[in-house]
Amino acid sequence: NANMGRPAPDRARSSNLYRRGQRVFPAGVTRATIEKDPLPIYLERGEGAYVVDVDGNRLLDLNNNFTTLIHGHGFGPVVDAIGDVLRQGTCFANPMEHEIALAELLVSRIPAVEYVRFVNSGTEAVMYALKAARAFTGRSSIVRFEGAYHGGYDWAEAGQNGIGEAGVSGRRLPKLGYRGAPKAVADSVIVLDFNDASGLEEAIAPVASDVAAILVDPMPSRAGLLHPSADFIAALSSTARKHGILIVADEVLNLRQGYAGASARYGLEPNLVAAGKIIGGGFPIGAIGGRADVMAVFGTDDKAPLVLQGGTFSANPVSMIAGRIAMEALTPDAFDRLEELGDRVRNGLAQAISKRGAPFSVSGATSLFRIHPKMDVPATYRAAQMSAQEAATMRALSRHFLTYGILLPFGAAACLSTPMTAAEIDRVVAVFDDFLAQGEP
């Protein structure tokens, strides 16, 4: 094995920066989602499919800022356009043509979207979509699926880390996950199993008169990057229709699954869509989109808003222009190419696993994939949960990838970007195969 015995990369500068960070940030970093195994890798710059860290190591980036950078780093057309924007002003309290142009693009591509409102993050997009659903239906509760990540909004967070003990009602209440949310949130969040088509109607029917929305990510990444079954999609539609519940599709991450987004790909017909990440071209963004009658809760020419949505930086021209340019470059051909590369990486990894008879599996679709330390692809959040030993195996895998110059996100979707080629994909597969060849740590 030619790669065996490669020395660990130098991380002296990252180590020094971490020590500084620890003096000013709780836990040393500004986001809980930063990998620290054993220390965060501080970056200096990005170049297409690669990033360069402060110690001069060049790494293939399979994280792409949590799947945001579908064109990789420093995408030429965005960089060229934004240079001029910076000189002309970066945020205004008056509207600009740029926001109309990006909204037009989203409306033309995403079947469920007739009207749009822009915000600054995916968290805000989900938050306003849930508020809109409550305002439209006059109901309070939200149904969501165990383990799915929907951002940092209280109602979206409850149930992200599973379901807890039975409450006074006898119903098992969601774990709030973290301590910042009021306890009352748990009473109005119903957490169900993703892909449990037969249990859906039964679970919702008794409480349906107070359910405003079913919040669903068509392929929840943190829950395991689970593939939605056709039965499940059909059950969502029939239960929602029967009880007058709105479907809110969280496509913040999965809009990257195709020209028309993930709901269209999997046959889901949402009333509201929350978007983010790729639609900002690398700048902060979120969007709520939906049918005109539902979006009317944000106000109409003759009616005051039922949900007040503003935002100091919402629809700033930098995000709007970068987003439109990045999205325009995502032609149907670009999506086809990403999907081909995705198939290549998933098939390559799966072949290495079967060749070695290793206890791993691969989930995902289009430009997304996730490696599981499990014989079978997990079908549920529970099945995707790692034991301490499995987590240790995955940490060892991430470290192995790092040693060979590849950044693989831990416990979340890895993603491809348009500057990647078959050469990068084959290297990912070869480095994984090399890990399997060395056997379990």
CB of 28 to ligand PLP, least distance (A): 20
For residue 348, what is the enclosing H or E element? helix 332-356
Q: Is 150 in the site for ligand PLP (CB under 6 A)?
A: yes
Q: Are the C-beta atoms of residues 2 and 437 closer than 8 Å to each other?
A: no
**CA-CA distance, 84 to 97, in Å (whole number)?**
16
Nearer Cβ to ligand PLP (153/432): 153
Q: What is the DSSP letter of 243?
A: H
Measure the CA dihedral 71/72/78/83, to 10°.
180
Q: Is 404 in the site for ligand PLP (CB under 6 A)?
A: no
Q: Is 378 in the site for ligand PLP (CB under 6 A)?
A: no
Residue 166, φ and ψ in degrees, nearest 5: -65, 135
Site for ligand PLP in 268-287 (CB under 6 A): 276
| 46, 151, 342, 419: which one binds ligand PLP (CB under 6 A) | 151
CA 438 → CA 176, 413, 431, 432, distances in Å? 40, 24, 11, 10
- 238 CB neighbour count, 10 Å cutoff: 12
Nearer Cβ to ligand PLP (253/341): 253
Nearer Cβ to ligand PLP (147/276): 276
Site for ligand PLP in 203-262 (CB under 6 A): 217, 250, 252-253
Helix (H, G, I), strand (E, B) or coil at 285: coil
Nearer Cβ to ligand PLP (196/251): 251
CB of 250 to ligand PLP, least distance (A): 5
Nearer Cβ to ligand PLP (279/429): 279
Amino acid present at 316: N
CB of 354 to ligand PLP, least distance (A): 30
Matching residue, tokens 């599996």: 361
Nearer Cβ to ligand PLP (276/323): 276
Q: Is 149 in the site for ligand PLP (CB under 6 A)?
A: yes
Amino acid present at 275: A
> Could you tell me the two tokens for 70?
């579908």
Q: Is 66 in the site for ligand PLP (CB under 6 A)?
A: yes
CB of 222 to ligand PLP, least distance (A): 7
Q: What is the DSSP letter of 257?
A: G
Q: Is 48 in the site for ligand PLP (CB under 6 A)?
A: no
**CA-CA distance, 121 to 68, in Å (whole number)?**
11
Q: What distance lies between CA 205 and its chain's CA centroid?
A: 29
Q: Is 123 in the site for ligand PLP (CB under 6 A)?
A: yes
Please report, as ranges, the residues that interact with ligand PLP according to CB under 6 A.
Answer: 66, 121-123, 126, 149-151, 217, 250, 252-253, 276
